[in-house]
A and B are shown apart, each in its own frame.
Chain A
Amino acid sequence: MGTFFQTITNGILIGGVYAVVATGLTLIFGVLNVANFAQGEFMMLGMYVTLFLSRGLGVDPYLLTFLVAVIFIAFGYLVEKFLIHQTLSKPHETQMLLTLGLAIFFRSLMMVICGPNYQSLAVPYRLKSLLIGGVLLSYPRLLSFLVAVVLIILLWLFLNYTELGRAIRASSQNSKAATLMGINSNWMYGIAFSIGIMLAAVGGLTLVPFYYVFPDVGVYFGLIAFVVVVLGGLGDVLGAIVSALLIGIIESVTAQYVALDLSHLGVFLVFILVLVFRPQGLLRGRRSS
C-alpha cells in the first residue's frame, strides 16, 4: 500500500510540470489555432537558460522563476511577431513546418553551443526529502510541483478575472466575435503565444534541479504535452490540467507495476484508446461547453 501511494504521488508531482507545459500549448492552440511543435524545445531552452543563470549568478533556480518568465514572455512575443504571425493566414501545413523547423533549429543550436552532454545542476537539497504518511516527497520534485501549481493558479486568475484574460478566452472561443467586440486579434495572438512559451520555459525551469539538461530533452515533454492537450480537449485549459495529472499517474504506475522502461508505452496506450473511444477528449461532453 505504501508503494502504491508513493507511485501515485510521484505521478502527480511530475504531472504538475506536464500541466504547465501543456497548458501553454493548449492556450496557443486555442487562440492562434497553431499546433506548436516546438513547445518541448522552448521548454528545453528554458532549462538551459535557467542552468546558465543559476550557475552564473549563483542563485537557486526556483528563485529565478520570475526572471525566466519575463525573458521568455519577451522571446515568445518576438517569435510570434516575426515568425508565427507571418504564417497565420497561410495553410496549416505552413505553420506546422515552421514550428517543426523551429524545434529542429533550437535543438541543433543548443547542440552546437553546449554539445550533446547531459548537464545537471547541483542544488544542496537535491537528495533531501520529506516523509509524510509513509510517502517520500523529494524536495526538488515538491518545489517543482509547487511552482507549477502557483503558476497555474495565477494563469487561472488572469484568464478568468482580468479584462485581458477574458479577451484571450473570447478570442479562443470565437475569434470573429472577439474582433467585433473591438478586441485586437494581433495583440491577442502575441500575448497568448508569449504566455504559452513562458509556461513551457518555466515548466523546464522547475525540472532543472532534478533532471538532466541536454538538447533533446524537450522531445518527450513536447510529445507528452500534445497527448495531454488532446486528452483534455483541444483549447481546454482545465481539461489539460486534469489530463496532465492523469498522464503523470499512468506513467508512474506503469513504471512501478509493469516495467520501468515501459512507462511511455502506458501513456501512449491510453492515448490511443482515448483517441479511438473518446476522440473529443476525456472531459468534453461531461461539462457543458
Chain B
Amino acid sequence: MSLFEVCNLSAGYGDLTIVWDASFSIDDNEIVVLLGSNGAGKTTLIETIVGLNKVKSGKMIFNGVELQGKDAAAIAEAGITLVPQGRELFAGMSVLENLYLGSYLKGPRSKRADSLEFVFSLFPKLQERSQQKAGSLSGGEQQMLAIGRAIMSDPKLLVLDEPSLGLAPLIVDTVFQSILQVRQEKKISILLVEQNLKKALSVADRGYVVESGRIVLEGNPKELLANEHVKKAYLGA
C-alpha cells in the first residue's frame, strides 16, 4: 500500500462542492505533481488534505491511518506539512522564529537543532538573515523560508502549493533544486502542486492533471508530455 492514499475525495466550501471524487496516491520517497490551470481546484484539494477544509466524502489514508475528519493540528502531527500558496509566513517575526514555529510540535521540537542545520545548509541565505523580519525578505527568500519552516516540522509528506508562483526563473530553479535535495536527503515524499507543467514534470516521478475539480489524467512525465490533450491544453501545441 502507498504511503498516502486518497479515495473518492469530495470537498468544497459550505454547500459548494469544488473537488469531486478525487483519487490519487503517493509512494514512499516519491515526487508526485498535481497539475492544473488557475481555478481548477488544486488549492482546495490540498488544503482539504491538510485539514484546513472539511472532507465532504471519501477517505484519506496516511501510513495506514484514516485522516478524514481530523483537524489540521492532528494532520500536521501525523506528518503531512503544507507549504501554502502565498507562503503565509509570520511576517512580523524573525526568520529564526518562523523556523522555530515550524518545529512547534513535540516530535519535531526534539529534532530542532538538526533540522535547523539542514535548513541552513539548504538555504544559506536564511542563516544570513536569521534575525531579519520575514516580511522584509525578497519573494524568493520568503519562499525558501516557507519551505524551510515546513522542513522544520520533519514531515513524512511535504506538500507544496505553487512554490514557483511569482518568482523569477532563476529563483524557480533554485527552489526546484532544493525540493529534489530534500527528497534525496530526508527520504520523504513530496506532493507538488503546479501550473508550471514543464518545470514540474522535470522533477516529478508521476503526475495527475486536475480540471474543474476532477482528476482527469494520470501518468509518468513522459506519458503526460506525450498526451494529446495535455499538449493542446497546457503546452500550447
Residues of A within 8 A of B (CB): 163, 166-167, 169-170, 173-174, 176-185, 288-289
B84→A177 contact, CB < 8 A: yes
0/1 interface trace, chain B 118-161, chain A, CB 8 Å (1 if under): 00000000000000010110000000000001000100000000
B88→A182 contact, CB < 8 A: no
Specify which of B52, B93, B136 is in contact with A170 (CB 8 Å cutoff).
Answer: B93
Are A167 and B104 also in contact (CB < 8 A) when A173-B92, A174-B88 are?
A: yes
**For A163, what are the chain B residues with a Cβ–Cβ distance below 8 Å?**
104, 109
Specify which of B71, B93, B102, B133 is in contact with A169 (CB 8 Å cutoff).
Answer: B93
Provide a sorted-by-A list of 8 A–B residue pairs whose CB atoms are within 8 angstroms.
Answer: A163-B104, A163-B109, A173-B92, A176-B88, A177-B88, A179-B52, A180-B72, A181-B104
Give the Cβ gap from B95 to chain A, nearest Cβ, in Å. 13
A176→B92 contact, CB < 8 A: no
B136→A288 contact, CB < 8 A: yes
B104→A288 contact, CB < 8 A: no
Within 8 A of A (CB), among B83-106: 84, 88-93, 97, 100-102, 104-105
Since A170-B93, A288-B133, A288-B135 are in contact, a sample of 7 more A-B pairs with Cβ atoms closer than 8 Å, ordered by chain A residue number, is A174-B91, A177-B90, A180-B50, A181-B102, A184-B73, A289-B92, A289-B133
Give the Cβ gap from A34 to chain B, nearest Cβ, in Å. 20
Specify which of A166, A169, A180, A289 is in contact with B88 (CB 8 Å cutoff).
Answer: A180
Are A176 and B52 also in contact (CB < 8 A) when A170-B93, A181-B153 are?
A: yes
**For B71, what are the chain A residues with a Cβ–Cβ distance below 8 Å?**
184
Are A182 and B135 also in contact (CB < 8 A) when A173-B92, A173-B93 are?
A: no
In angstroms, Cα B73 to Cα A176, docked, is 11
**For B133, what are the chain A residues with a Cβ–Cβ distance below 8 Å?**
288-289
A170→B101 contact, CB < 8 A: yes
**For B88, what are the chain A residues with a Cβ–Cβ distance below 8 Å?**
174, 176-177, 180
In angstroms, Cα B108 to Cα A163, docked, is 13
Are A289 and B76 also in contact (CB < 8 A) when A174-B89, A176-B88, A179-B52 are?
A: no
B52→A182 contact, CB < 8 A: no
Specify which of A176, A180, A288 is in contact with B76 (CB 8 Å cutoff).
Answer: A180
B104→A180 contact, CB < 8 A: no
Are A289 and B135 also in contact (CB < 8 A) when A166-B97, A166-B100 are?
A: yes
**For B153, what are the chain A residues with a Cβ–Cβ distance below 8 Å?**
181-182
**Could you count the A-B residue pairs with CB atoms below 8 Å apart for me: how many are there?**
70
Q: Does B81 contact A (CB under 8 A)?
A: yes
B72→A179 contact, CB < 8 A: yes
B90→A174 contact, CB < 8 A: yes
**For A169, what are the chain B residues with a Cβ–Cβ distance below 8 Å?**
90, 93
A182→B76 contact, CB < 8 A: yes
In angstroms, Cα B52 to Cα A179, docked, is 8
**For A179, what are the chain B residues with a Cβ–Cβ distance below 8 Å?**
52, 72-73
In angstroms, Cα B72 to Cα A184, docked, is 8
Are A182 and B109 also in contact (CB < 8 A) when A167-B101, A170-B101 are?
A: no
- By beta carbon, the residue of chain A nearest B146 is A177
In angstroms, Cα B72 to Cα A176, docked, is 10
**For B73, what are the chain A residues with a Cβ–Cβ distance below 8 Å?**
179, 182-185
**For A177, what are the chain B residues with a Cβ–Cβ distance below 8 Å?**
84, 88-90
Q: Does B82 contact A (CB under 8 A)?
A: yes
Are A173 and B77 also in contact (CB < 8 A) when A179-B72, A180-B84 are?
A: no
**For A183, what are the chain B residues with a Cβ–Cβ distance below 8 Å?**
73, 101, 104
Are A166 and B101 also in contact (CB < 8 A) when A173-B93, A177-B90, A179-B52 are?
A: yes
B76→A181 contact, CB < 8 A: yes
In angstroms, Cα B90 to Cα A112, docked, is 47
Give the Cβ gap from A173 to chain B, nearest Cβ, in Å. 5
In angstroms, Cα B105 to Cα A180, docked, is 11
In angstroms, Cα B77 to Cα A184, docked, is 11
**For A170, what are the chain B residues with a Cβ–Cβ distance below 8 Å?**
90, 93, 101, 104
- Best-surrounded residue of B82, B91, B104 (most CB of chain A within 10 A): B104
